[in-house]
Amino acid sequence: MSDNIVKKTCKELGITQKELAELMGVNDGTPAQWSSKGDIPDMARNFMKVLVENNNNKSKLNKVTNALKILDDLRGS
């Protein structure tokens, strides 16, 4: 088994396994079971990868938006 994607996803998103379960629409204990057994369905693994990618993209978008705001403020000075 490679990296524990359940723990990695929760850490990167700053959420609990219970919150991850809610996002994924599965029973509360399911991510914990995946984490301990390492037997994660491909669909769940892909879903977690998309959640992390989406979070990273939101962060990048916020940085670009803030940079554009700074540029607009400098132009207005």
The whole-chain average pLDDT of the chain stands at 94
Count of CB atoms within 10 A of residue 67's CB?
Answer: 10
CA distance 11 to 68: 29
| CA distances to 4, 42, 58, 67 from 33, in Å | 12, 15, 29, 42
pLDDT in tens, 45-76: 999 999 999 999 999 999 999 999 999 999 98
The amino acid at residue 9 is: T
Does 23 have pLDDT greater than 80?
yes
d(CA 50, CA 53): 5
Look up the pTM and report it. 0.81
